Amino acid sequence: MQPGSRIILPLDLPTVDQACNAVSTLGDNVGVYKVGFELLYSAGIRALDELRSSGADRIFLDAKLHDIPNTVAAAMRAITRLHVWCVTVHASGGKAMLEAAREAAEQEANLHQITRPKLFAVTVLTSISDTVLNNELLVEGTAKTHAVHLAMLAASAGCDGVIASPHEARAIRNAVPQPDFLIVTPGVRPANALHGDQARVMTPAEAVAAGSDYLVVGRPILGADDPVAAAQAIAAEMVTGCHSHS
């Protein structure tokens, strides 16, 4: 396994050409390439084929599905045929929606004899503070307790993992009974890197030690003078966290 295989690079770039250049430059120094709204809505779903031609073998489709179960199931069937490595749904869509997503992906994959995408549930967006959660969404407790609750819901509905803040990773790891449940964490910054708009960050070593399996790291790699060296340094930092974890 490549050292960087647990790094997810968000292709937060406006054009497919820029995204393909990033893929060509980084190759397998990162494990997964994340495609989000910006690229999808500007370049369309065909961007995935172009990214693959540039060398992106594992694609993370950040679809953030959140709708009635029937609609999400239909979307999941179409997404399964795109051969992506994983897709995201909002855990707050509820158990029936999450189960429908998993079931639809499984059925479609069986039908076409292909691998179904992993299903990752978004817990509480890190932009949602405790105050917003309590006063606007009328959800009691803290963002952290709610994220743990949603992670348990996602696990019980058959999701393969969650997207959560590294600050919630330890609590989620302790609460979810399935040991192979995957925790994907954005908000990671190498020691000495600029934080940008990420307020509550952890270093790669800290995030791995807290229980994260995959780290989403964008600007510290894409904005570096030498992106390959930056990705390799992050991978090396992750190894340190693995050792302190074991």
- Give the interface with ligand C5P as residue ranges (CB under 6 A): 10, 12, 36, 125-126, 163, 186-187, 196, 198, 216-219
Closest approach of ligand C5P to the CB of residue 223, in Å: 8
Q: Which is nearer to ligand C5P, 75 or 224 (CB)?
A: 224
Give the helix/strand (H/E) hosting 105: helix 95-112
The two tokens of residue 28 are: 């397998």
Interhelix angle for 95-112 vs 69-80, to 10°? 30
The two tokens of residue 158 are: 């058959």
Q: Which is nearer to ligand C5P, 204 or 218 (CB)?
A: 218
Active site residue 118: no
The two tokens of residue 170 are: 């330890």
| Best CA proximity match to 204, nearest among 176, 155, 169 | 169
Closest approach of ligand C5P to the CB of residue 62, in Å: 7
Residue nearest to ligand C5P (CB): 218
Closest approach of ligand C5P to the CB of residue 22, in Å: 12
Q: Which is nearer to ligand C5P, 104 or 193 (CB)?
A: 193
- Contact by Cβ (8 Å): 88, 163: yes
Active-site annotation, residues: 64
